[in-house]
Amino acid sequence: MIDVHTHVLPFVDDGSRSVESSLLMVKEAVAQGVTDMVLTPHLRGDYNASSKRLKSVYNDFCDVVKNAGIEIKLHLGQEIFIDKDFKKLFSTDKILTLNGSKFVLIEFDYVSDFDIGETVYELVNMGYVPIIAHFERYVYADSSVAEEVKSLGGFIQVNADSFFGKAKKVYYKKIKELFKDGLVDFVASDVHAFRENYLNKAYAFVLKKFGVSTADAVFTNNALKILNGQT
Ligand SMILES: [Fe+2]
C-alpha cells in the first residue's frame, strides 16, 4: 500500500515529538503492508516550518530509517490549510507539493463553510492538482461537492480511521455514499503518534464491501501517479 497522508516526520507539527516515535510509526506501517509513505506535515497556524527546514528534517529522517534497516520509501509533501489568502500562498515557493509532483494535499476548516469547488478551480488554474484531505470531515460538503471537485480536476482522500468506531458513524455514512458514487480516490492513514494506524483494517473493510479492484485502486494504484509525478 501507498500512504499519501501521514504526520510521521518528527519535530515539525503535532505528529511526532521524537525520532523514536516516528520510527515506531514507520515500523507499524511496514507491518501493515505499506511500501511507500508520503510525509505530509501540516502547514497551518503555528505549524509553519519552512520548505528548507522540512527538506532538511526529511533527509535526516530518511537516513535514520535507512540505518535502522527498515524497508520503506519515504517521500516529502505537506498538508496545507486553506484560508482566504490561499492564492497568495500558492503563488510562492513556500509550499511543498507531494513528492515534487503537481499534486497538493489541502485541508479546510471542518465546520465553517468554505467554497471547496471554487478553491479547486483556482488551484487547477494555477497548475496544481488538489487532493482534498479527509473529505468526510467537512460537515458542509456532501457528495455533490465531491463530484464538483472531481469534475474540476481535483481528487478525494478519506481517512482510514473514519471507517470505524461509534463516534465516526457520521463519517462512514458519508464515505459509503462517496464509494457508491465512485468518488473516492485515496484512503490514507493521516497517522499521528497519538492515533492508531487503521490502514490495513480499512483495506480489509473496503475489499469486503466494495471489491478488490476498488480496494487496490484507493490504497495503492491511484497513488502511483503521485510517486511517478503524473497527473
Ligand atoms: Fe492530516
Torsion sign (Cα): 144, 178, 150, 195: positive
What pLDDT score does 76 carry? 98
**Phi/psi at 17 (nearest 5 deg)?**
-100, 0
Statement: residue 229 has pLDDT above 80? no
Q: Is the pTM of this model over 0.95?
A: yes
- Residue 160, C-alpha cell as written in the block: 482510514
At 107-151, the pLDDT tens digits run: 999 999 999 999 999 999 999 999 999 999 999 999 999 999 999
The confidence score (pLDDT) of residue 222 equals 97
Ligand 1 centre and the CA of 190: distance in Å? 5
Distance 228 CA to ligand 1 centre (A): 22
Residues within 5 Å of ion ligand 1, judged at the Cβ atom: 79, 190
Are 162 and 190 spatial neighbours (Cβ–Cβ below 8 Å)? no
Q: Please state, rounded to an integer, the average pLDDT across all residues of the chain.
A: 96
2-226 to CATH, choices 3.40.50.1480, 3.20.20.140, 3.40.250.10, 3.40.50.1950: 3.20.20.140
Q: Domain spans of the chain?
A: 2-226
pLDDT tens digit sequence for 156-212: 999 999 999 877 899 999 999 999 999 999 999 999 998 889 999 999 999 999 999
